[in-house]
């Protein structure tokens, strides 16, 4: 018996391979076209071939696929109304980084009862992404676990790297191989240099340990991702979406010889973690764009059917339908108003 390894590991439970899951839940031709078109549209916006605004909008996290699809159907209908000025990408977050402890998301604990059926969570996550893509909506997610993209990456159009992981070498290497444009958030202290260094790192080739489709540990060799960009999310309790902060971020990107592409996250420190302030942040960003800002290419909004958030109850039947179990969100009515008002202003540009 080897008493030197895995001292604190209780067990190793087998997962299906990425190829197994893809075979069980294959992507349809239509869904593949939706993903491909979404990625191409995002790249065209970042390349300034398309002057629409990227809007990554949706629940802070997915925990109820029924409510999630209800939201997706409404967002698809709204996309038709604002398609001339905005590209709507549904926020579909399954993994939640925790400062200490807490629910880690739909993949890690889909039953929300600490049973941690990760294999079931991964399958349910893929099924939900397929359903959203079949509606005709491109999807966005945060890449937290470096193995998850092998299971879900073919269904994602845009990827975020969070403030806690932007500085991580593992996530920079992973991003260099992702098939989507990647938004790197500034650090939790507001430091934008972390995100700029991440963009530079991810734009270069890397070699690292990872998983292939057959579930075999492999040396992953990447070509580098040329579509990294900055996401301003505020930091250290202060916003950074104002004109001065945006101008400083733009200068920093120019100094690094990077495209001046900036997305503003309307939540987190930019709204002082008060979801109801997100419309004010959005209005300010739109005002900057209308007044001539060339660097601002998108926004992120935490939005759900019902405003606010809720704790996970012992009896899951008590969950409020369409209400976040992680960060607070604006409700659907507010979301619709925000986007329609912004579309009108952008149309005057």
Judge whether 316 lies within some domain: yes
Q: Stretch 227-232: mean pLDDT, rounded? A: 98
Answer yes or no: is pLDDT of 349 > 90: no
Q: Tell me the average pLDDT of the chain.
A: 96
**pLDDT given for residue 197 in this prediction:** 98
Q: How confident is the model at residue 18 (pLDDT cuts 50, 70, 90)?
A: very high
Distance CA 70, CA 49 (A): 32
Judge whether 11 lies within some domain: no
Q: How confident is the model at residue 348 (pLDDT cuts 50, 70, 90)?
A: confident
Q: Stretch 279-300: mean pLDDT, rounded? A: 98
Answer yes or no: is pLDDT of 100 > 70: no
Angle at the Cα of 29 (from 25 to 34), degrees rounded to 5? 100
**pLDDT given for residue 3 in this prediction:** 82
Q: How confident is the model at residue 1 (pLDDT cuts 50, 70, 90)?
A: low
Q: Stretch 199-221: mean pLDDT, rounded? A: 97
Q: Stretch 190-200: mean pLDDT, rounded? A: 97
Judge whether 322 lies within some domain: yes
Q: How confident is the model at residue 30 (pLDDT cuts 50, 70, 90)?
A: very high
**pLDDT given for residue 102 in this prediction:** 84
Judge whether 250 lies within some domain: yes
User: With contact defined as beta carbons under 8 Å apart, do 334 and 280 qualify?
Assistant: no
Lowest mean pLDDT among 47-51, 89-93, 94-98, 277-281: 94-98
Answer yes or no: is pLDDT of 177 > 70: yes
Residue 211 sits in a domain whose CATH number is 3.20.20.70
CA distances to 10, 27, 101, 133 from 117, in Å:
15, 23, 17, 24
Share of the chain above pLDDT 90, in %: 96
> How distant is the alpha carbon of residue 88 from its chain centre?
13
Q: Stretch 153-180: mean pLDDT, rounded? A: 98
Judge whether 5 lies within some domain: no
Answer yes or no: is pLDDT of 213 > 70: yes
Judge whether 2 lies within some domain: no
Judge whether 8 lies within some domain: no
Distance CA 219, CA 173 (A): 12
Q: How confident is the model at residue 181 (pLDDT cuts 50, 70, 90)?
A: very high
**pLDDT given for residue 222 in this prediction:** 98
Answer yes or no: is pLDDT of 289 > 70: yes
Distance CA 31, CA 37 (A): 10
Judge whether 114 lies within some domain: yes
**pLDDT given for residue 115 in this prediction:** 94
Identify the bridge partners of residue 207 per DSSP, sorted by sequence position.
221
Q: What are phi and psi of 229, to 5 degrees?
A: -155, 165
**pLDDT given for residue 219 in this prediction:** 98
User: With contact defined as beta carbons under 8 Å apart, do 178 and 148 qualify?
Assistant: no
Structural domain that includes position 297: 18-347
Q: How confident is the model at residue 96 (pLDDT cuts 50, 70, 90)?
A: confident
Lowest mean pLDDT among 33-42, 62-71, 91-100: 91-100
**pLDDT given for residue 99 in this prediction:** 62
**pLDDT given for residue 337 in this prediction:** 98
Answer yes or no: is pLDDT of 84 > 90: yes
Number of domains in the chain: 1
């Amino acid at each position: 018996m080897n008493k030197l390894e895995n001292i604190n590991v209780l067990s190793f439970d087998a997962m299906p391979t990425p190829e197994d899951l893809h075979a069980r839940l294959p992507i349809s031709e239509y869904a593949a076209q939706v993903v491909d078109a979404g990625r191409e549209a995002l790249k065209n916006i970042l390349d300034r071939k398309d002057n629409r605004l990227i809007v990554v909008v949706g629940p802070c996290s997915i925990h109820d696929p029924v409510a999630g699809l209800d939201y997706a159907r409404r967002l698809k209908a709204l996309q038709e109304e604002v398609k001339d000025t905005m590209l709507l990408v549904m926020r579909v977050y399954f993994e939640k980084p925790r400062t200490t402890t807490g629910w880690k998301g739909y993949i890690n604990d889909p039953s929300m009862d600490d049973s941690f059926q990760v294999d079931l969570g991964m399958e349910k996550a893929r099924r939900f992404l397929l359903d959203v893509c079949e509606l005709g909506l491109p999807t966005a997610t945060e890449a937290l676990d470096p193995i998850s993209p092998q299971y879900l990456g073919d269904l994602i159009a845009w990827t975020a790297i969070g403030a806690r992981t932007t500085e991580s070498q593992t996530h920079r290497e992973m991003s260099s191989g992702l098939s989507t444009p990647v938004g790197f958030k500034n650090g939790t202290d507001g430091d934008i240099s972390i995100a700029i260094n991440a963009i530079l790192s991810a734009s270069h080739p890397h070699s690292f340990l990872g998983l292939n489709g057959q579930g075999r540990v492999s040396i992953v060799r990447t070509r580098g991702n040329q579509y990294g960009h900055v996401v301003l999310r505020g930091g250290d309790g202060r916003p950074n979406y104002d004109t001065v902060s945006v101008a400083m971020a733009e200068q920093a990107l120019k100094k690094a010889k990077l495209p001046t592409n900036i997305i503003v996250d309307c939540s987190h420190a930019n709204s002082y973690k008060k979801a109801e302030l997100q419309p004010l942040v959005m209005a300010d960003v739109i005002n900057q764009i209308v007044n001539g800002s060339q660097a601002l290419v998108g926004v992120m909004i935490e939005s759900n059917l019902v405003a606010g958030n809720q704790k996970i109850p012992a009896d899951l039947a008590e969950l409020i339908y369409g209400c976040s179990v992680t960060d607070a969100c604006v409700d659907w009515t507010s979301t619709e108003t925000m986007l329609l008002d912004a579309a009108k202003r952008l149309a005057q540009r």
